Each structure stands twice: as C-alpha cells, then as structure tokens.
Amino acid sequence: MKKIALNKLIFLFIIFIVLGQLPGFFLDRIFTLPFTIHPLDFFLVVFAFLGLKKIRKPIPLWIKAGLSFLVIGLFSLILYSIVNNELVIFRSLFYLLRYFAFLFSIYFFFKEREDKNLLNLVGLAGIGVAILGWMQYFLSPDIRVLKIYGWDDHLFRLVGSYLDPAFTGIILVLVLLIFVNQYFKTKSKIYIVAITFLALTVLFTYSRSSYLALFSGLFTFVLSTKYKKILIIILFLVLIPFLPRPSSEGVKLERLHSIYLKIENSKYGLSIVNENPLFGIGLNNVCNVKVENFKDSFVSNSCSGLDNSILFILVTTGVVGLVLFADFILHIYRSTSQRYRALILSIGAALSVHTMFTNTIFYVGVLSLLSIVLGATRKNS
C-alpha cells in the first residue's frame, strides 16, 4: 500500500511538471502572498524529506558538495544582511529551501529508480508539455494580456504551460535528449516519433537559446558516443528559415531588442559582483536588492533572477560560491553511471548554453525535471 501511494505521488509530480506555471498562476490570483510558492516546490520538499529518511552512511560526495554550496549561499545571505544592517529576508530563505529540497530529491529518486522507469516518466512529462504548447499555439497565440501579471508579452509563439518560450523550449530539449539516449539503447521506433514531435515543437517556440541548446546537446551526444546517425536530427535546424513569420516581433529570429535587454541585465549583475566579489549578496537575495536599489517590483516574474545562471551564482554567492558550484557539478558527473554519461554530458552542454541567456539552472521546472533524471542516472557505489 505504501509503495502504491508513493507511485501515485511521483505520477502526480509528473502531472504538475506538465502543468508548469499554470497552477501557480491561478493560485496567485486566489491568494495574495508576499512571495510565490510553486506547487512543484511542495513536491520537492516532500521527496527531499523521503530522501533524508533513506539516507545512509557514507553520504555520497555529490551531496556533500551540494551542501557546501548551499552553506555558502546561507552564509552570504547572513553576511550581506549584517554588513548592510538588514534582517535576513524570509523570501530568500524559501529559495534556499528549494535548492536543499532539490538536492535530496535527487537522492530519493536514486533510491526509487529500481521500481520505476523514471526516464520514461520524464519523457511522458515532455510530451505533455509539448501537447499543451500546441493547444496554446492554436487556441491562444496572443498572450500579451499576461503582461499585466508580470509575464513577458508573446505573440504567435509556442509558450506552453510555462508561459515562456525559452523555459518551455529547454524542458522540451532536455526530454528530447533523453529520448535520443533511449532510442539508441532500445532501437524502438516510438522514440523516433517522439523525437520528431519534440523537435518540431521546439522550433515553434522561436527561442534562439533553445535552438542553440538543442544543437549543443545533440552535438555533444555525437562526440561522446559512436552513434553518428544522430547527426540527421540536427538537420531539423535547417527548417528554421522556413518557419512561418506572422507579423510579430517575437518570431523574428534576427530581433535585437531582447539582446539589448540581456546586455543591460548582465551589466546590472556585474555591478553587484564588483561590490560583493567574494561572497556575493546571498542566495537568493537578488529581488530584494533590485526592489531596494533599483525600484524593481516583486510582481515581476523576472525580479528574482538574472539572465545568466553563472552570473546569478557570482552575484549571490561570489567567487567562493562559483567554485563550490563547479565542484558540485564535477561530483555529479563523476557519480553518474557509465551507461548514462553521454546523456548527462549532452544535458550539461544544452543547459550550459541555454543558461547563458536565461537563469535556467535554478528554474523550478528544470530543477524538478533534473531531480528525476539525476536520481535515475547515479551509479550504485
């Protein structure tokens, strides 16, 4: 009975990954809170609690490395608060809880993987995200009205349940890479159908960062395996010039406005790094600093982040935090089962590229997906 309940909980988690930002969006309309609690955060906390109950010595090195990064994040937050005569912001502590929950959720799925084909479950989540994306694209291609709720305005782009083409795009790219890996292990033609469907869906997001992430992930997979035939999938990128171009700025791949905005966002981040280079301003204290110093608004859904995850780490935890984060990534790779290393390398390459333009690594949808994928690909020893 306990195992059945646990399987239902995991399946419910998959459903909420598919629904993306929609549950949180409607909850925000019902409840007025000074911070946003995403339903996926609830699942991560529950899985982290179950993971902590399962943990045994010796504690894996990748967990220790992850905890070291979080400790620096907390230390940076407290230090910044003391130096600037401010109280530790309650909102920021919730972000720390999210990352702590993500870390031990990985351990939970690592321990549960023998009873579930977790990667196929992630695949189902990706198909669900794609289906909702096409429904939005055909039924409601104009979502500019969401700008009044703090979201970017998009027209004639597939934004899906994550209400953002870049985040929907990277979710689809990660799942596509999983399907590529599964196909070459099983030779099942169903994966070819799924790969084709997801690749076409990514194209209609008109997200240039997602295009680059897809190319980088596939190319890395080719370099790290003997499966050269995968190069044919890269030919999907040849279809880009033939995409429909309705009268919308967002579908113009040569658009420059968003590039200028990202440059300004990076300049803002670097100005904070110059003032707090060693330990940063605390994980995650960005939104509080924006509101205090730059008169930003908590209502904006981009308030708490920067358009570059590496810069985000530098801003919030300084050089020390960046070194510890790199150490965590290194331990994650070293603890990956040999049969999944090509997959993890390709996912890492896709995320590395995408995160140069969007704060991808710390996005709750990506963290939720990665908690399952990384848990399913750890080696036993």
HEC profile of 198-267: HHHHHHCCCCHHHHHHHHHHHHHHHHCCCCHHHHHHHHHHHHHHHCCCCCCHHHCCCCCHHHHHHHHHHH
Give residue-wise pLDDT tens across range 64-83. Answer: 999 999 999 889 888 887 77
Q: Is 50 exceeded by the pLDDT of residue 298? A: no
Q: What's the whole-number mean pLDDT along residues 120-134?
A: 95
Cβ burial of 260 (10 Å; 0-12, 13-18, 19+) is exposed
Q: Identify the band that residue 311 occupies on the pLDDT scale cut at 50, 70 and 90.
A: confident
Angle CA(179)–CA(183)–CA(185) in degrees, nearest 5?
120
Question: Could you tell me the end-to-end alpha-carbon distance of the chain, in angstroms, rounded to an integer?
Answer: 29
Average pLDDT over all residues of the chain: 83
Distance CA 199, CA 305 (A): 28
212-224 tens-digit pLDDT: 999 899 889 988 8
Q: In the chain, what are the domain boundaries?
A: 43-116+256-334, 117-252
Assigned token pair, 193: 């159908």
Three-state secondary structure call for residue 365 = helix
Q: At residue 294, does pLDDT exceed 60?
A: no
Q: By percentage, how much of the chain surpasses pLDDT 90?
A: 43
Burial readout 165-179 (b: 16 or more C-beta within 10 A, e: otherwise) = bbbbbbbbbbbbbbb
Burial (CB < 10 A; 0-12, 13-18, 19+), residue 297, is exposed
In this prediction, residue 252 carries a pLDDT of 56
How many whole angstroms separate alpha carbon 76 and alpha carbon 261? Answer: 28
pLDDT of residue 115: 46
Q: What tens digit of pLDDT does each residue of 218-272 get?
A: 889 988 877 666 665 666 666 666 666 665 554 555 555 566 666 776 677 777 7
Confidence of residue 55 (pLDDT cuts 50, 70, 90): confident
pLDDT in tens, 185-220: 888 889 989 998 999 999 999 898 999 999 899 889
Q: What is the CA radius of gyration of the chain?
A: 20
Judge whether residue 300 has pLDDT over 60: no
Q: What angle do CA 153, 93, 265 make, to 5 degrees?
A: 35
Contacts of 306 (CB under 8 A, 6+ apart): 265, 266, 268, 269, 286, 312, 315, 359
The pLDDT value recorded for residue 283 is 76
Q: Angle at the Cα of 190 (from 346 to 135), degrees rounded to 5?
A: 85
User: What pLDDT is attached to residue 268?
Assistant: 72
Q: Give the confidence band of 19 by pLDDT, cuts at 50, 70, 90.
A: very high
Which alpha helices (H) appear in 21-164, and where do they start and end? 22-30, 39-54, 61-83, 90-112, 118-139
Residue 299 has pLDDT above 50, yes or no: no
Q: Is the four-CA dihedral 359, 363, 365, 367 of positive or negative sign?
A: positive
For the chain, percent of residues with pLDDT exceeding 70: 79
Q: Do 244 and 200 meet the contact criterion of CB atoms below 8 Å apart?
A: no
- The average pLDDT across 116-130 equals 90
Q: Among 85-94, 132-141, 371-380, where is mean pLDDT lowest?
A: 85-94
Lowest mean pLDDT among 108-122, 141-155, 238-252, 366-380: 238-252
Burial status of residue 139 (CB atoms within 10 A of its CB: 0-12, 13-18, 19 or more): exposed
Residue 127 has pLDDT above 90, yes or no: yes
Q: How confident is the model at residue 159 (pLDDT cuts 50, 70, 90)?
A: very high
Of the two residues 334 and 282, the one the predictor is more confident about is: 334
- Look at residue 84 and tell me whether its pLDDT is greater than 90: no
